[in-house]
Chain A
Amino acid sequence: MNIDFNSELIAFRAEISAFLDEAPTDAIREAGRKVTSVFADFDQATAWQAILNAKGWAAPDWPEQYGGTGWSVEQRYIFAEEYRKRDLPPLLPNGIKMVGPLLIDLGTEDQKAKYLPGILSGEDYWTQGYSEPNAGSDLASLKCRARADGDDYIINGSKIWTTLAHRSNRMFMLVRTSDAGKKQQGITFLLLDRTDYPGMDIRPIKGLDGFPEQCEVFFDNVRVPQSGRVGAENDGWTVAKHLLTHERGGSAQSPTLKRYIEHIRDAARDAASPFGGNMIDDPVFQRDIGELEADIASMEHFEKLAISGHEIANDPAFPSMNKTMNSELIQRISVMMTQISGLEGLSLELDALRIGANVKPLGTYLDLVSMPFYLNSRATTIYAGTNEVQRDLIARTVSHG
């Protein structure tokens, strides 16, 4: 795979660049500069998705027949690079990266016809209802129950850490439909058409960065149609495991990581070193960022091999390795950002972080986002299966006997 010296790809890059330069509104760009989480500002990410969808570019990784772009892996990588270069906000991952690919793989034709258009356009936001207060790492012990009743299920119980449930209109969730056999066997995967069913109560949880991103969701005799089931009753664990490979693996992360490095380098050009001169010339900074860049480069090489179809991606540990590497790199990047910001990272600027707030940040954009990004990024090694659990999964692929 060589994406740099090919005239067709050069033309492709120019086409992408022209669109990305012109299409996003100012508010969308602002949302991109103010990203402090994998979840960008809800309204602007959604607005941006609508624009991309109108162009046919909302889901480059999807098969063409379902609305994908039909681009080669090289083209998709170029798209990701140009996208990141402009600091555009990432699309909310739940639809395009999670439930969409799942339905393409395992949904019925009816489900695909009903749900894929709203997922592609961003009109629907699907919140993920898996975790429960007592079922985190041990997800299979979940207790939120669905009892069959005619053509419906009646749901009772609760979910927690349900990201942006308070902004959602749909939910994909795991429920317990049987207590027989192993705990994994009695789980069913459901799609909910609404998140305002009678009996549903959604309560936001304020995070350590000061923003309510996760929620608690309570179900009190909530009646939903059985037609929303994906896969067979009691076979939801298989469905969920399939979806996890999309959540943990999926598209290339290295363009995002590399972009952060560029931002750190830019900031280091202006930031004074406590030893005189600027950080960019400080040998300790150079060594530290050099090591980080080398690790990001390895991640990039790994991703490039994988998307070109190299056997390295066939490793059963691939999704877990990908998730572990990416999350830990994000955390290291975020630490470096706060180190560059120094004291400037200590001011709490929730208002300036809001889109269209018209509140001037006290320092630079990097200083504005570095601390909330660092704090929020502590979650990357917790969500989508903690890194401890990932390491257990990776270990299983190397141990003998």
Chain B
Amino acid sequence: MDFSFTEEQQMLRDSVSRFLDKTYDFKARQTLVASEKPWSEQVWQQFAELGLLALPFSEETGGLGGSIADVVAIAESFGEHLLVEPYMSSILLAGRALALSDHDVAQDWLAKIIAGEAIAAFAHEEARGTAAPEFVTLGAQQSGGNYFLDGEKRLVLNGAEADILVVSARLSGVAGEKSGLALMMVDPKTDGIEITSFQTIDGRSAAHIQFDKVQVSAEQLLLDDAYSVLVAVISDIMIALSAEAVGIMGALLGATSEYTATRKQFDVPISSFQVIAHRLADMKIAYTKARASLYYTTAIAEAGQSTARDIAILKGQVGKLGRAIGEDAIQSHGGVGMTDELIISHYHKRLIAIDAMFGDSEYHFRKIGQAHD
């Protein structure tokens, strides 16, 4: 088995990395986050030109036919640069969901998304998080030829800027049932939708979206019996988020090893204290474990061999190990690790956010413990 990137993937990875080194250094990123703009239009347009927005979609749907391994190849660099572009929301979540339907309107939206002309958002998680899709409760009541949506989606990434929302909803049954779920395409300007937007701790634009008897036509039903599609989309995003996290973990290890080698207390570099040296060793072990699980899981996912348990292992490990590396990095930096000025704290916040999305490590570990396959 070969778990390495192909030559093409390596080239893609390098070119994205070089591009972001030039356009998305920490200072530029911080200026962007502090501005009114939720992401960089210029970078997004260049992503479109570079083909990155088309990468994960099949050729029939206007994409480049890239695999999850191609996404992983670039996502590590997204993590390292703390990218706030809507790649996860518009491309990997909502875009993927649209691409899995042969609906005409969906295909039109997808073309615009790939061209960088439209943004889509994925309105799925509810309350404090919906780790398991079967717990979606937002109701879609059928009446005449229409559906009426009632409920609330929380922390919809780029929900306030989206031109189109892909919404998971329950057509029938109750929370906990895998049947009866649907995906809907909803215009965010529809009557009855109330959007509250805010920034997240990791510099992204997100929104809580309230649906109050929102009427959608039968045409807007993207998929019924959507459970398996939801699982497929979410599995892939968990791999992509894990790749981002692994990119961050590597960067944190590098920054901390550099800082502790140069910071002197008691006339010696603090890395010469055993407690710091051993912590660096633990960080390296954690990074290596997460990286190994990332590449292994990516390869089996690409081969269509991954199980829910494999994905849970990756996401659970990345959540736990990422938090540990972030906390260790701050502690090793001392007071300066607590500031907004260093990238360290921003890396940590992104790792914490990644852990919280689509089920935290506690959830995934329990899932693993429950699984009998």
Contact A343 B155 (CB under 8 A): yes
Give the dominant DSSP class at A's interface: mixed
> What separation, in Å, do the CA atoms of A371 and B265 have in the docked complex?
31
Q: Which residues of B sit under 8 angstroms from A374, Cβ to Cβ? A: 352
Docked-complex contact B335 and A214, CB < 8 angstroms = yes
Interfacial residues of chain B within 62-85, with CB under 8 A of chain A in the complex: none
CA distance A31 to B43 in the complex (A): 42
Which residue in chain A gives the minimum CB-CB distance to B132? A274
Residues from chain A with a CB closer than 8 A to the CB of B276 are 388
CB distance from A369 to the nearest CB of B (A): 13
Residue B127 is within 8 A (CB to CB) of chain A in the complex: yes
Interface: A67 (CB within 8 A): no
A349 at the binding interface (Cβ < 8 Å): yes
Whole-angstrom distance between the alpha carbons of A378 and B196 in the complex? Answer: 30
Interface membership of B115, Cβ < 8 A: no
**Number of A-B pairs whose CB atoms are under 8 Å?**
130
B154 touches A276 (CB 8 A): no
Q: Does A305 contact B (CB under 8 A)?
A: no
Given A342-B128, A343-B128, A348-B199, do A275 and B348 touch, yes or no (CB 8 Å)? no
CA distance A210 to B30 in the complex (A): 13
Cβ contacts B224-266/A at 8 Å (1 or 0 each):
0000000000000000000000000000000000000000111
| Chain A 124-160 interface 0/1 with B at a Cβ cutoff of 8 Å (1 = within) | 0000000100101110010000000000000000001
| Residue pair A343, B359 in contact (C-beta under 8 Å) | no
Q: Are A381 and B265 in contact (CB under 8 A)?
A: no
The reply to whether the CB of B195 lies closer than 8 angstroms to some CB of chain A is: no
> Is B44 close to A, CB under 8 A?
no
Give Cα distance in the complex from A375 to B360, angstroms: 17
State how many residues of chain B have any CB contact under 8 Å with chain A.
51
Chain B positions within 8 Å of A388 at CB level: 273, 275-276
Across-interface contacts of A386 in B (CB, < 8 A): 331, 334
Chain B residues whose CB sits within 8 angstroms of the CB of A340 once the complex forms: 128
CB-CB nearest in chain A for B200: A346
- Least CB distance from B8 to A in Å reads 35
Could you say which residues of chain A place their CB within 8 Å of the CB of B112? none
Q: Say yes or no: is A14 at the interface (Cβ < 8 Å to chain B).
A: no
Complex CA distance for A341 and B355, rounded to whole angstroms: 12
Q: By the criterion CB–CB under 8 Å, are A272 and B128 in contact?
A: yes
Shortest A268–chain B CB gap in Å is: 11
The yes or no answer to A339 lying at the interface (CB within 8 A) is yes
Which residues of chain A have C-beta atoms less than 8 A from B341's C-beta? 205-206
**Cross-chain contact B360 with A339 (CB below 8 angstroms):** yes
Least CB distance, B255 to chain A, in whole angstroms: 15
Known: A274-B359, A342-B360, A378-B327. A348 touches B335 (CB 8 A): no
Q: What is the interface size of chain A, counting residues whose CB is below 8 A from a CB of the partner?
A: 46
Q: Which listed residue, A137, A343, A362, touches B266 by the CB 8 Å rule?
A: A137
Check A274 against B265 for contact (C-beta < 8 Å).
no
Complex contact A276–B176 (CB within 8 A): yes
Residues of chain A from 323 to 350 with CB closer than 8 A to chain B in the complex: 338-349
| Other A-B pairs beyond A343-B356, A346-B353, 18, CB < 8 Å | A137-B266, A206-B340, A207-B340, A208-B348, A274-B131, A274-B359, A275-B132, A276-B175, A284-B366, A341-B128, A342-B129, A346-B155, A347-B199, A349-B198, A375-B345, A378-B331, A379-B335, A386-B331
5 shortest interchain CB distances as A-B pairs: A208-B345, A342-B128, A342-B129, A274-B131, A206-B340
14 A-B pairs with C-beta separation under 8 A: A206-B340, A206-B341, A274-B132, A275-B366, A341-B128, A342-B127, A343-B155, A344-B154, A346-B155, A346-B353, A348-B199, A362-B198, A375-B201, A379-B335
Interface residue ranges, A against B (CB under 8 Å):
131, 134, 136-138, 141, 160-161, 205-208, 210, 214, 271-272, 274-276, 284, 288, 338-349, 362, 367, 371, 374-375, 378-379, 381-383, 386, 388, 391
Chain B positions within 8 Å of A, measured between CB atoms, are 125, 127-132, 135, 154-155, 175-176, 196, 198-202, 206, 208, 264-267, 270, 273, 275-276, 327, 330-331, 334-335, 337-341, 345-346, 348-349, 352-353, 356-357, 359-360, 362-363, 366
